[in-house]
Amino acid sequence: MNIKHLLPLALVLFFFGLAYAIPGVPAQYFGEVKFLNGPALDGMLVSARIDGQEVANGGVYQSKYGYSPALFFIRDPDGVRRNTTVEFFVNGIKANETIKFDNGASLKLDLSVPVEISAQQAIEAGIKEVSVSPTKPQILIFGSDLQIALSSEKETKAQLGKIEKITTALPELDSMAPEWHFLTGYEISIQGSVQPTITLNYDESQVKVSEKTIKPFKFKNDSWQEISGFVLNHITNSVTFTVNAAETPYALFDDSGAKPSCENIVCDDGNECTADGCFEGQCVTGPLPNGIACSVGVCREGACEGAAASEPASPEPAETKETVPVEEKETAELPGKQLVVSQALCGGLSCNDNNPCTIDLCKDNACAYAAAIDGTKCAEGASCQGGICLKVVGGQATPPPTQDLWSSPLVLVLVVIGAVIVVLQIVSLLKK
């Protein structure tokens, strides 16, 4: 067969492939979480599984999951999950409810877990043995900063050994790298054929740099080893992880050597014609686009000028400087030369991204960008939101509409051309 006869078929298959590759619309779920003897506790982890694979997770807050700001979405990246069965788990324990996945659903689905929330009364009475089975997991609560969920694939008994809060006097802490800052931890010893899921709560005020640097560790073979596969919930200030056996100290550390955070830093140089932002803990500022209205006229090169002011014949590149956070102006010193805010070349390249909602930076001869603070005016009737210039409609910033693949004129033209070629080839073959 002549290769030109295959071209139309290839084009059609290509465009059908594009259609099937479009991700499906995600589904949203939310609701209350209850155990046999009461509501779920803050910091517990709700997860969803399809065919045994976890597809979403989120924390419990005020005995609920999926509410703002921790929304619970199950995504459909390949567009193949419609009508598949979704199972829900709370701290690794299967809830009674299942549901068929439905693209675009927004459904209130309360979860009920068929176990008692804890064996706390028995533990406080001095009993150190807890019965665990596939239908009767146990959740143990120790103070306000430790929860342990015990599950097992068979009927067994878990023997509770030492469960004691770690203090900074623990000798093992001396073996941790100095940049890691201890937050909280417990020595935990539990024997038996059980799988513990541990939730540790931390004090946010003790975090040195950022909550994003917090990680759980276990002490084994004379060293602290990082635990992978954990969930950090910054709303409930908790970290949840699962281990195969609990027989060692567990602790949370945050990286005090991480890059400085911009959290709780307010940047404002008092100039209505500049955009203020924060980059690695430092305030930076850059000029707004020329022509934006200001109090006495329009902005030009980062300054407010009267409407009648003439445009400079040969404007020099506007240079901006780092500013000090408002709350630290009296005592803070300007950083060194590692950060340059300028429209000049950086390593031979221009850093101008033509975005009025980012501040173009040059750090170590490489371009970097800081988002302007939300609410910065970037055009008439528009303001910056998350580093993007958005129109304000009805009091809410409205993002640009999502591009639909089939709404693209180019795609439609190509599909029509492909169809015409196929028809002409079929007619040509029939004539032969």
pLDDT band at 184 (very low <50, low <70, confident <90, very high): very high
Give the strand order in the sheet containing 85-90.
53-59, 45-50, 85-90, 93-100
Q: Answer whether 262's CB lies under 8 Å from 191's CB.
A: no
Q: Compute the distance between CA of residue 175 and CA of residue 115 in angstroms, rounded to an integer.
A: 40
- Smallest CA-to-CA distance from 366 within 289, 302, 279 is with 279
Q: Answer whether 151's CB lies under 8 Å from 194's CB.
A: yes
SS3 label, residue 212: helix
- Smallest CA-to-CA distance from 19 within 355, 408, 429, 328 is with 408
pLDDT of residue 185: 95
SS3 label, residue 203: coil
pLDDT of residue 67: 94
Looking at per-residue pLDDT, the higher value among 255 and 316 belongs to 255
Cα angle 355, 357, 359 (rounded to 5 degrees) comes to 85
Q: Convert 50-114 into a string of H (helix), E (strand) and C (coil).
A: ECCEEEEEEECECCEEECCCCECEEEECCCCCCCCEEEEEECCEEEEEEEECCCCCEEECCEECC
For residue range 6-58, what is the model confidence (pLDDT) as tens digits? Answer: 556 555 555 555 455 578 899 999 999 998 877 887 788 999 999 999 999 99
CA distances from 251 to 61, 148, 173, 202 (A): 23, 14, 9, 10
Least confidently predicted of 61-65, 145-149, 208-212: 208-212
The mean per-residue pLDDT over the stretch 231-243 comes to 93
pLDDT of residue 39: 82
Q: Mean pLDDT for the chain?
A: 79
Q: pTM of the full predicted structure?
A: 0.45
SS3 label, residue 320: coil
pLDDT of residue 329: 38
- 223-226 and 231-233 strand pairing: unpaired
For residue range 117-149, what is the model confidence (pLDDT) as tens digits? Answer: 656 555 665 667 888 888 888 888 888 899 999
Looking at per-residue pLDDT, the higher value among 97 and 157 belongs to 97
Q: For the chain, what percentages of helix, strand and coil (3-state, to nearest 5) are there?
A: 15, 45, 40
Domains of the chain: 24-112 (2.60.40.10), 120-255 (2.60.220.30), 274-397 (no CATH)
The burial of 316, by beta-carbon neighbours within 10 Å (0-12 exposed, 13-18 middle, 19 or more buried), is given as exposed
DSSP for 143-197, written as a single string:
TTTEEEEEE-SS-EEEEEEEEEE--TT-GGGGGS-TTEEEEEEEEEEEESS-EEE
306, two tokens = 């009267």
Least confidently predicted of 162-176, 239-253, 349-363: 349-363
Among 52-66, 273-287, 304-318, top mean pLDDT goes to 52-66
The burial of 122, by beta-carbon neighbours within 10 Å (0-12 exposed, 13-18 middle, 19 or more buried), is given as middle
The mean per-residue pLDDT over the stretch 108-122 comes to 78
CB atoms within 10 A of CB 357: 25
- Smallest CA-to-CA distance from 135 within 47, 36, 39, 59 is with 36
Q: Is 80 exceeded by the pLDDT of residue 406?
A: no
